[in-house]
Structure 1
Amino acid sequence: MTDTLVTKNTEDYLVADINLAEFGRKEIAIAEKEMPGLMATREKYGPEKPLNNVKVMGSLHMTVQTAVLIETLVELGADVRWCSCNIFSTQDHAAAAIAASGIPVFAWKGETLEDYWDCTFKALTWPDGSGPDQIVDDGGDATLLIHKGV
């Protein structure tokens, strides 16, 4: 694990700097305006909570656009855990904003390969030791770990 990480609780999140959350929140608000499909989905289906108690793990580039997707899944009732699918693609402010909102995220720009696999494992593992019901996996690494029995 990188020594410079700021963490509240390693079971909740691992991000580069939680103090970037406010800037991340501003960027997410802009992204929401550019993603009308997800926002319409929140508005239409949010009250029904069709994903209530569904555990969704994501391994996707941790950007402000992905943050909009994550928050949409949560609004629809999902229990979400997330990591980045690429060691260089994380927008640290986006990860910080998601972590600050209480959604488990394990991602920062410049992860080592060891960190990357550790983050993927953490995203796949719920606090009770169970795994996800559904995954969003860009690259197949989370799928690989599941096939290996993780």
Structure 2
Amino acid sequence: MSERQITSADATFTLTVQTLFNAPIILENWSANRAWEAQALKLSDTRLSIDGKLNKGFVPSAYDMTLTFQPNSNTWDVFDAIQVASRQARTVYTLNGELTLPSLERKYTFVSGCVLDVAATPNGGELIEERAVHIRWENVLPAGI
């Protein structure tokens, strides 16, 4: 029986942005309800022939992820800088990341990603709402810690 906990409270996500920042950045002040969310990774596709044979093959696919932060998170300074620099230079910056989940004794390394879209401003209501950033990664590599 596993003694691992399932808390997200001890998770850390470190981001590097090639050619824009000189040091890794620890992302902080996440959304309480949905801090990060990942799309399923498609590995294969199939076709059934007219005589009933299942044909299958590997399909390369990108890994999409949404990160959501509180509106007052310092992390927004990072994503605002990426957004402004991308628009001014008319270029895409390459990201790499690492999500460490001590409670599960796992880490995930994200390779060669980019920001697809970002909420440029938070939405307002009774309270200022959280903002999200959508990243597409070339690969994700799980490992134990």
TM-score, with structure 2 as normaliser = 0.26
Write 1 or 2 for the structure with the bigger share of helix.
1
In the superposition, the TM-score normalised over structure 1's length comes to 0.26
Q: Which has the higher strand share?
A: 2
